[in-house]
C-alpha cells in the first residue's frame, strides 16, 4: 500500500471558467506507479470547486447558468457586507459544488464513464492561479 501526491497548477480566465483536468489527473495516476486504488482530487481555496461532468460546450455553458440561478449576483450576501469583495456568490457556489472528488482507479486508469471528465470550476469574480492536488492511495 502506498500514498502518492501530485499537484497541478493552472490559470483560470474568469468567473465560471470550467477547465477539464482529466488528462493531467490521468497522467498523475499513471505516473504514481500505483495500479489500483483511489484518487482524491482537491482544490485548496473557498471560491473554486471540483466535479465530474460531460465536458462539452452545452454543459460548460449550462453548469454556470444553473449555479447563477441558485446563487445570483443580484441578491445581497452577508460576506460582501463584511469584506466588500463582491464574491459572496462565489463562496456560496463553491460550497455547494465542493472542493473535492474521489475516483477509484484500476490498472492505472481512472474509472470514469465514457462521457465523464473531471473539471475545475472557477467561481471567483476574477482570474486566479489555482492548484489542484491529487492524492492517490493504492497498491
Q: Can you give the residue range of the structural domain that contains 59? A: 2-138
Q: How high is the pLDDT of residue 42? A: 98
Identify the burial level of 65 via C-beta atoms within 10 angstroms of its C-beta, where 0-12 means exposed, 13-18 middle and 19 or more buried.
exposed
pLDDT category of residue 127 using cuts at 50, 70 and 90: very high
DSSP-assigned beta bridge partners for residue 18: 121
Is the CB of residue 11 less than 8 Å from the CB of residue 133?
no
For the record, the C-alpha cell of 15 comes out as 468567473
Q: Tell me the per-residue pLDDT of 21-53, one tens digit each, with 9 for 90 and over.
A: 999 999 999 999 999 999 999 999 999 999 999
* pTM above threshold 0.85: yes
Count of structural domains within the chain = 1
pLDDT band at 20 (very low <50, low <70, confident <90, very high): very high
CATH number at residue 59: 2.60.120.460
pLDDT in tens, 57-115: 999 999 999 999 999 999 999 998 888 888 999 999 999 999 999 999 999 999 999 99
Amino acid at each position: 500500500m502506498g500514498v502518492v501526491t501530485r499537484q497541478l497548477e493552472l490559470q483560470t480566465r474568469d468567473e465560471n471558467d470550467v477547465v477539464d483536468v482529466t488528462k493531467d489527473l490521468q497522467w498523475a495516476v499513471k505516473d504514481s506507479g500505483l495500479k489500483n486504488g483511489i484518487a482524491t482530487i482537491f482544490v485548496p481555496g473557498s471560491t473554486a470547486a471540483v466535479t465530474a461532468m460531460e465536458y462539452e460546450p452545452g454543459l460548460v455553458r449550462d453548469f454556470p447558468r444553473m449555479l447563477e440561478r441558485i446563487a445570483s449576483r443580484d441578491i445581497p450576501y452577508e460576506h460582501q457586507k463584511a469584506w466588500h469583495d463582491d464574491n459572496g456568490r462565489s463562496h456560496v457556489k463553491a460550497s455547494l459544488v465542493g472542493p473535492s472528488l474521489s475516483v477509484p482507479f484500476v490498472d492505472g486508469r481512472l474509472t470514469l464513464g465514457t462521457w465523464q471528465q473531471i473539471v475545475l470550476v472557477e467561481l471567483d469574480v476574477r482570474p486566479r492561479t489555482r492548484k489542484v492536488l491529487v492524492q492517490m492511495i493504492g497498491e
